[in-house]
Amino acid sequence: MRLEMMSVYVDDQRAALAFYTEVLGFTKHHEVPLGDDWWLTVVSPDAPDGPELLLEPSHHPAVRPYRDALVEDGIPLAQFTVDDVDAEFARLTAQGVVFTQPPTDIGMAVVAVFDDTCGNLIQIIAAKPDPVGETARSQ
């Protein structure tokens, strides 16, 4: 079993594509017309054959209450791994991205949460290096 695709619900696929490619730096992978919508996916330029992120239209009636509840509670819909949360925070803030949680050290990692402008909160995370021998001592 492996992860090949996950979805984020978006209100406007064109605006979402612009944000996810031009601001976050993903690359468009698939763009297949499906009636009024698209099968629209992006991938990391670091892993072009890796997992795809589907920019899923948010038309289903269950989506809005679900996303609104997550946002109200500050819960990210998705999490993306970065090398350096502070550097990404600075880069994205300079591009106007609004963070709901600044870089925060949570022990084994540093996280931050931003609004993707498409109705979702997204968390970025960078694992901290394991102190030498820490894993061996805890076993």
Within a domain: residue 137? Answer: no
pTM value is 0.90
Q: What is the pLDDT of residues 9-61, one digit of tens each?
A: 999 999 999 999 999 999 999 999 999 999 999 999 999 999 999 999 999 99
29-65: burial string, b at 16+ Cβ within 10 Å, e else? beeeeeeeebebbbbbeeeeeeebbbbbbbeeeebee
Number of domains forming the structure of the chain? 1
CATH number at residue 99: 3.10.180.10
Domain of residue 86 covers 5-129
Burial class for 22, CB neighbours closer than 10 Å (0-12, 13-18, 19+): exposed
Question: First-to-last CA distance in the chain?
Answer: 28
